[in-house]
Amino acid sequence: MVLAIAGILFIGTAAQWLGWRLRVPAIVFLLAAGLLVGPITGALDPDEMLGDLMFPIVSLAVAVILFEGALGLGVTGIRDAGTTVWSLLSVGVAVTLLATAAAASMIFGIGYELALVLGAVLVVTGPTVIGPLIRSIGLRGKVAHILEAEGTLVDPLGAIIAVLLFEAFFEPESSGSWVIDLIVIAGVGVTAGVLGAALIAWTFSRYLVPDHLHNVTTLSVVTIVFALVEQVRPEAGLVAVTVMGVALAAQNRVSVRHILEFNETLRTIFISGLFVLLGARIAPETLSSLGWQNAAFLAVLVLVVRPVSVLLSTIRSGLTRSEKGFIAATAPRGIVAAAVASVFSIRLSEIEVENAQILVAATFTIIAGTVTLSGFGARPLANRLGLIDPDQMRTVILGSNRLARELAKRLAEQGALVTLIGMDRKNLTSARMEGLTTHWGSVLNGDTWTAAHLEETQIFLAMSSQDEVNALATRHAAEEIGRRNVFQLVPHGMGSGPWRPGSAQTYGRTLFTADANIDTIEANLESGWEVAATKLTETFKARDYFRAHPEAVPLAKVHDNGVHIREASRRLMLRPGDTVIALRPDPDAPER
């Protein structure tokens, strides 16, 4: 068991890395890994390994995932999504449920009871898939907000509808009026969620919990609220954790950024483990039973049901045809659909319902198909529809000194989208007069980062003359876009001293060279050096360039696939077709 658990974690992490490397949602590889170690090779049997703990573990993990998604979304995310998300959650859910049930009944030849339960299970999309997908393709704006809000809010809604239908059709002795059940679930869930969020906010704001216990306290409150609510009314726990996340994000008494970061880590671990486990749990006979019906069912849902539901939900929404098209093409199913279908299949088998295996087979066909289609097709589609910037050349530079302005001009001349931010009004005015985009503001003000579009930025350069401001800014930028994409100048007086490029104590990669602090570079610029851009060709390669400019210090290169900044600990690989931007003596400058 120890080897199996360690292997699941390792495989899940490897799949996450592969997804990041190939810029494809990792769930594609997670599901493939689960099928490989489960029904294909038989190396892992989750039911044998975990026994009765299987679904309690899945339930708690799903609760944490939904809480994290709701916490990240918050009231602001719902507000940014506008009224369209409510149409998707009402009209869209109704159309999807009924159309999916009709398709399942006709294609699989099953009764309307099982078809409606299957339709309810497949209503959900889920933040476990939508969030990573949106981040991996760099989608921003209203479409991203709509998809994230729909994915977060439809999960508990779809699960509730599925449970109510299941109880009404297959466990009638345990269910009264579905209207009363729905009211009870909503009431219990919302009340518990609000109380849980209030408890966390109150204790944290009064400093009754030390900072180092904030994350684990939040996790414990989320799990105990979920568990207690599930005892009162099954499936109300999903509503409770979703409401708790939104409510906690909406309050302004305590900061939740550090909590969100911790839960993002848990979410990554849980998503990795759950998809491998649930994929491995599919029976080999289920895979062998997949035939033309499953392929036809997938095609109907992707090509007919989703487009129709989005079309009816976005009437008078103000969305463009391209935005509607992308939303219609993006509805991958995730963990909640897999978990609910797995639980229902066990109950249906116990009461010997005919064609019960179709529920799992169809659900995992839709999960695998929609995840694969969205994983490999979302980026090309978004590019074709003009919803994302096809180049990866958006750069934000902190600082407006001469070096920052000169580098920004060279990058802008090569087609990069460059924004200078800082608080030196004189230098920012000079930058604007030189045709550069600027924004005046402090790095301590969230509006500064919003105006600079940091979330959409591929590269952040901290190049101000104030070391403390550079360090503070790189720390924030690294949290948003990752240390891989964040650079900072060597601090004053540390060019050849104890400073070590790439030190673990820094939040950004070291710019240019280990002795290239702002003082030395500005001194070179004052003495007649320049920041110049030169195109390399097959007849004028890198070695020819350095013969012509032996003192040149490469700063960056621009190629078709974006901007590449030189890091102090690495060489900048230059090839024909690259445009090298370097600090070098100006041959036309008068000698001093």
User: pLDDT tens digits for 480-500?
Assistant: 778 888 998 888 765 444 444
Identify residue 372 by its one-letter amino acid code: T
Closest CA to 151 of 330, 340, 326: 330
- The predicted model gives 104-129 an average pLDDT of 85
Which residue shows structure tokens 């779809």? Answer: 158
Distance separating alpha carbons of residues 80 and 78, to the nearest angstrom: 5
- The predicted model gives 335-358 an average pLDDT of 75
- The predicted model gives 158-167 an average pLDDT of 80
Domain-located, residue 488 = yes
Residues in the chain: 592
Which DSSP letter does residue 469 get? H
DSSP string, 272-314: HHHHHHHHHTS-HHHHHT--HHHHHHHHHIIIIIHHHHHHHHT
For the record, the structure tokens of 269 come out as 């671990």
Terminal-residue alpha carbon distance, the chain:
74
Is residue 347 within a helix (H) or strand (E), and if so which, with residue range?
Answer: helix 335-350
Closest CA to 234 of 340, 151, 334: 340
| SS3 of 394-457 | EEEEECCCHHHHHHHHHHHHCCCEEEEEECCHHHHHHHHHCCCEEEECCCCCHHHHHHCCHHHC
Residues 6+ positions from 246 with CB-CB distance below 8 Å: 70, 71, 73, 74, 75, 78, 193
Asked if residue 261 and residue 141 are part of one domain, the reply reads yes
- The predicted model gives 260-278 an average pLDDT of 79
Distance separating alpha carbons of residues 34 and 223, to the nearest angstrom: 26
What percent of the chain has a predicted confidence (pLDDT) above 90? 10
Distance separating alpha carbons of residues 495 and 486, to the nearest angstrom: 19
Asked if residue 439 and residue 365 are part of one domain, the reply reads no
Q: In terms of pLDDT, which residue wins out, 177 or 228?
A: 228
Identify residue 309 by its one-letter amino acid code: S
User: pLDDT tens digits for 71-91?
Assistant: 877 666 677 777 888 899 899
User: pLDDT tens digits for 527-573?
Assistant: 888 888 888 888 888 888 888 888 888 888 888 767 888 888 788 88
Is residue 488 within a helix (H) or strand (E), and if so which, with residue range?
Answer: strand 486-488
Alpha carbon separation from 167 to 159, 314, 328, 351, 509 (Å, rounded): 12, 32, 31, 13, 56
Domain containing residue 527: CATH number = 3.40.50.720
Beta bridge partners of 562: 559
Is residue 580 within a helix (H) or strand (E), and if so which, with residue range?
Answer: strand 579-585
Which residue shows structure tokens 């099953």? Answer: 110
Q: At what angle do helices 357-384 and 292-300 cross, to 10 degrees?
A: 50
Q: For 418, list phi and psi in degrees, rounded to 5.
A: -115, 135
> What's the whole-model pTM score?
0.72
Q: For 168, list phi and psi in degrees, rounded to 5.
A: -65, -40
Distance separating alpha carbons of residues 202 and 221, to the nearest angstrom: 13
Dihedral angle over CA of 453, 455, 460, 466, nearest 10: 70
For the record, the structure tokens of 295 come out as 């392929």
- The predicted model gives 160-186 an average pLDDT of 74
Domain containing residue 245: CATH number = 1.20.1530.20
Asked if residue 537 and residue 578 are part of one domain, the reply reads yes
The yes-or-no verdict on residue 406 having pLDDT over 50 is yes
Domain-located, residue 59 = yes
Distance separating alpha carbons of residues 562 and 196, to the nearest angstrom: 46
Distance separating alpha carbons of residues 10 and 116, to the nearest angstrom: 38
Alpha carbon separation from 145 to 51, 337, 509, 581 (Å, rounded): 39, 22, 31, 37
Residue 18 banded pLDDT, cuts 50, 70, 90: confident
pLDDT at 47: 78
pLDDT, averaged across the chain: 82
Distance separating alpha carbons of residues 134 and 379, to the nearest angstrom: 9
Least confident of 93-102, 204-213, 280-289: 280-289
Residues 6+ positions from 286 with CB-CB distance below 8 Å: 39, 357, 360, 361, 364
Asked if residue 515 and residue 411 are part of one domain, the reply reads yes
Residue 467 banded pLDDT, cuts 50, 70, 90: confident
Reduced to 3 states (helix: H, G, I; strand: E, B; else coil), residue 568 is: coil
Asked if residue 433 and residue 364 are part of one domain, the reply reads no
Q: For 564, list phi and psi in degrees, rounded to 5.
A: -125, 115
Least confident of 215-219, 310-314, 341-345, 472-476: 341-345
The yes-or-no verdict on residue 33 having pLDDT over 50 is yes
Could you tell me if 316 and 98 are in contact, meaning their C-beta atoms sit under 8 angstroms apart? no
Domain-located, residue 3 = no
Least confident of 204-218, 253-267, 302-316, 362-376: 253-267
Least confident of 111-115, 319-323, 336-340: 336-340
pLDDT at 194: 92
Which residue shows structure tokens 């339960």? Answer: 117
pLDDT at 389: 63
CA 438, 442, 446, 449 torsion-angle sign: positive
Domain-located, residue 1 = no
The yes-or-no verdict on residue 400 having pLDDT over 70 is yes
Domain-located, residue 11 = no
Tally of structural domains, the chain: 2
Asked if residue 399 and residue 378 are part of one domain, the reply reads no
For the record, the structure tokens of 501 come out as 């490029």
Cβ-count burial of 376 within 10 angstroms (0-12 exposed, 13-18 middle, 19+ buried)? middle
Asked if residue 105 and residue 165 are part of one domain, the reply reads yes
Asked if residue 236 and residue 156 are part of one domain, the reply reads yes
Which residue shows structure tokens 């149409």? Answer: 87
Domain-located, residue 274 = no
Distance separating alpha carbons of residues 22 and 5, to the nearest angstrom: 26
Domain-located, residue 163 = yes
Owning domain of residue 79:
49-266+285-336+347-384
- The predicted model gives 395-408 an average pLDDT of 89
What percent of the chain has a predicted confidence (pLDDT) above 70? 91
Q: In terms of pLDDT, which residue wins out, 41 or 352?
A: 41
The yes-or-no verdict on residue 371 having pLDDT over 90 is no
Could you tell me if 333 and 126 are in contact, meaning their C-beta atoms sit under 8 angstroms apart? yes
Cβ-count burial of 517 within 10 angstroms (0-12 exposed, 13-18 middle, 19+ buried)? buried
| Other C-beta atoms lying within 10 Å of the C-beta of residue 159 | 26
The yes-or-no verdict on residue 320 having pLDDT over 50 is yes
Asked if residue 294 and residue 421 are part of one domain, the reply reads no
For the record, the structure tokens of 447 come out as 């509006």
Asked if residue 481 and residue 369 are part of one domain, the reply reads no
The yes-or-no verdict on residue 587 having pLDDT over 90 is no
Domain-located, residue 14 = no
User: Where are the alpha helices (H) located in 44-141, listed in sequence order?
Assistant: 46-50, 54-81, 84-87, 93-108, 112-121, 127-137
Reduced to 3 states (helix: H, G, I; strand: E, B; else coil), residue 18 is: helix
Asked if residue 419 and residue 496 are part of one domain, the reply reads yes
Asked if residue 325 and residue 461 are part of one domain, the reply reads no
The yes-or-no verdict on residue 24 having pLDDT over 80 is no
User: pLDDT tens digits for 379-396?
Assistant: 888 888 887 765 556 889
